[in-house]
């Protein structure tokens, strides 16, 4: 059979009368309320989290109403927990000037909520990851706008989230979400009419938001910009921006124990490999810091229990110590060291704070792969972890409750696998929460942090929906559903060249 014959045969499928939609579908449609829901996120959660229970949704309206009411109640609970959801920021790739460092993966939230203390008491009792299920969901609710998605996001005090999106997701600007899953450009919000490019957002947890970026400067340079807001819609520029931030694009901002820390660098001038830092306690007044220990066109910063973790290409090599620094105030940086078995590694790509310390994905020394490290709570002492079953990781998130610790990571490989640690659920050995770091960086190492030098990973089940994705996925959120006791993971990537979001959830109890 030649191609023409095949095509004719295919076309013949639709010869003759065509079927019409069955009455049951028409009835289903007509039973829908005419007005669209005011808060579609509640139903969105229903669709995402309960898609596996779709049998309950149809066809009896009474059952559907009960299910809907149940879903709304679940959504409300999730909304409450939303304050504890971990907002991670997607890595934004610095243009190729530095092959050794992907720029800041602010996997940290704007506020240091990765501490389990930030979580309300949960019923997280996940025991069996074999039940981990994933759903591809539509992230783009607005058919007119493409790929609204944040690279950095924080929770709004009034509810919902605001994030910074980039051209990669359609355009640069602020995006909003009621639930952290569905994002859109409404209401259109710009912080400045002069065409500033936004890169990162942070919040102090008390209602203040800070967004950073850059505006075109003189002679092709960029001038950093910082704006503050209390609602995400009305923004005020920090005064004297050109004087304070001139010549350097600000790339990332976080909020930690001592206030805001912003980092900036240029990627257009290879001769300038300076990373600049500014700190502020109120978001309005900023002070430049000297003595930043890293150089290049990328940096990673993460608020931790008692300060900040900084990672990047070291200005000066210091043996094989990891290129990771701790500061309690953003001013004095102390370099981390190996707890044992020194292993040359590159900068941090992604990290998550748990009650056992900091778990970080770092580049290998030659930049060809990644390793997993476990550090103390302040990131001063590190050791490599054997990650059997997960060759190269890209981003990591965690959640824990009475049921244990769950680590979830996305694979760096283009197959887009998501990995779930098995033994992190119930760490072996005597585990106690990490000791607290002092302001000078002195740390009592956590017993739990070093109780096991290996983490076994398994590929999250039912993940073949991610197969073939041309780029890896990045974890956005990891949260817990109080009502069901299940863990929920949100990540996104490019399935079949189209941006998408996956919601992973595992049954609890």
* Interatomic CA distance for residues 428 and 426, integer angstroms: 6
Closest CA to 241 of 267, 193, 278: 278
* Interatomic CA distance for residues 422 and 136, integer angstroms: 23
Per-residue interface string for the shown chain with another protein, residues 246-285, x marking contact by CB under 8 A: ----------------------------------------
Question: Do 460 and 475 form a contact (C-beta atoms < 8 A)?
Answer: no
Q: Where are the alpha helices (DSSP H) in 106-156?
A: none
Separation in Å, CA 359 to CA 38, 90, 148, 328, 391: 40, 17, 29, 19, 16
**Nearest approach, Cβ of 175 to another protein (angstroms)?**
12
Select 26 or 117, whichever has its Cβ closest to another protein: 26
Among 167, 341, 366, 496, binds another protein (CB under 8 A): 496
Instruction: Report if residue 141 touches another protein, rule: CB under 8 A.
Output: yes
Among 142, 159, 318, 439, binds another protein (CB under 8 A): 142
Separation in Å, CA 402 to CA 359, 421, 452: 19, 17, 19
Instruction: Report if residue 6 touches another protein, rule: CB under 8 A.
Output: yes
19 CB contacts (<8 Å, ≥6 apart)? none
Among positions 43-72, residues that touch another protein (CB under 8 A) are 43-44, 47, 51, 54, 57-58
Select 197 or 461, whichever has its Cβ closest to another protein: 461
153 CB contacts (<8 Å, ≥6 apart)? 87, 89, 161, 162, 163, 164, 175, 177, 180, 201, 476
Among positions 15-44, residues that touch another protein (CB under 8 A) are 15-16, 18-22, 24-26, 28-30, 32, 34, 36-38, 40, 43-44
Instruction: Report if residue 209 touches another protein, rule: CB under 8 A.
Output: no
The two structure tokens encoding residue 240: 């004297």
**Nearest approach, Cβ of 427 to another protein (angstroms)?**
32
Instruction: Report if residue 386 touches another protein, rule: CB under 8 A.
Output: no
Among 153, 154, 497, 508, binds another protein (CB under 8 A): 497
Q: Does the N-terminal peptide bond of residue 234 adopt cis geometry, omega within 30 degrees of 0? A: no
Instruction: Report if residue 186 touches another protein, rule: CB under 8 A.
Output: yes
Among 76, 97, 118, 138, binds another protein (CB under 8 A): 138
Q: Please give the biggest Cα pair distance in the chain.
A: 80
Binding site residues, another protein, CB under 8 A: 1-3, 6-7, 9-16, 18-22, 24-26, 28-30, 32, 34, 36-38, 40, 43-44, 47, 51, 54, 57-58, 135-136, 138, 141-144, 146, 182, 184, 186-187, 462, 464-465, 496-498, 500
């Amino acid at each position: 059979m030649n191609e023409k014959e095949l095509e004719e045969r295919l076309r013949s499928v639709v010869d003759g009368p065509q079927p019409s939609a069955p009455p049951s579908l028409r009835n289903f449609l007509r039973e829908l309320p005419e007005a669209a829901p005011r808060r579609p996120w509640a139903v969105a959660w229903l669709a995402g989290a309960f898609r596996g229970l779709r049998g309950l949704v149809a066809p009896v309206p009474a059952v559907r109403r009960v299910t809907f009411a149940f879903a709304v109640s679940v959504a409300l609970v999730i909304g409450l927990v939303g304050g504890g959801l971990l907002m991670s920021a997607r890595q934004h790739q610095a243009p190729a000037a530095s092959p050794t460092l992907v720029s800041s993966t602010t996997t940290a939230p704007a506020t240091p909520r990765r501490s389990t203390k930030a979580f309300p008491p949960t019923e997280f009792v996940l025991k069996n990851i074999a039940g981990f299920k994933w759903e591809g969901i539509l992230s783009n609710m607005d058919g007119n706008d493409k790929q609204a998605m944040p690279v950095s996001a924080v929770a709004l005090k009034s509810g919902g989230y605001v994030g910074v999106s980039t051209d990669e997701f359609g355009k640069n600007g602020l995006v909003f979400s009621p639930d952290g899953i569905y994002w859109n450009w409404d209401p259109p919000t710009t912080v400045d009419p002069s065409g500033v490019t936004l890169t990162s957002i942070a919040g102090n947890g008390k209602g203040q938001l800070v967004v950073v970026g850059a505006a075109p400067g003189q002679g092709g340079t960029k001038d950093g910009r910082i704006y503050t807001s209390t609602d995400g819609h009305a923004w005020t520029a920090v005064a004297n921006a050109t004087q304070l931030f001139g010549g350097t694009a600000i790339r990332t901002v976080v909020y930690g124990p001592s206030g805001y820390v912003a980092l900036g660098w240029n990627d257009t001038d290879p001769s300038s490999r300076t990373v600049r830092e500014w700190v502020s306690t109120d978001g309005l007044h900023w002070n430049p810091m000297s003595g930043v220990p890293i150089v290049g066109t990328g940096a990673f910063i993460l608020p931790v229990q008692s300060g900040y973790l900084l990672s990047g290409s070291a200005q000066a090599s210091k043996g094989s110590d990891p290129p990771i620094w701790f500061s309690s105030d953003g001013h004095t940086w102390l370099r981390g060291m190996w707890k044992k078995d020194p292993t040359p590694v590159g900068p941090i790509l992604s990290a998550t704070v748990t009650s056992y310390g900091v778990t970080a994905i770092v580049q290998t020394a030659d930049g060809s792969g990644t390793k997993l490290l476990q550090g103390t709570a302040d990131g001063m002492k590190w050791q490599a972890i054997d990650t059997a079953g997960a060759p190269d990781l890209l981003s990591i998130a965690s959640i824990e409750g009475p049921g244990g610790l769950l680590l979830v990571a996305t694979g760096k490989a283009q197959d887009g696998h998501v990995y779930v640690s098995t033994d992190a659920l119930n760490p072996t050995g005597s585990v106690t929460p990490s000791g607290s770091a002092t302001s000078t960086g002195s740390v009592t190492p956590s017993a739990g942090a070093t109780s096991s030098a290996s983490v076994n990973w398994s590929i999250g089940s039912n993940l073949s929906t991610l197969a073939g994705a041309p780029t890896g996925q990045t974890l956005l959120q990891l949260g817990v559903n109080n009502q069901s006791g299940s863990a929920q993971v949100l990540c996104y990537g490019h399935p079949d060249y189209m941006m998408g979001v996956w919601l992973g959830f595992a049954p609890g109890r």
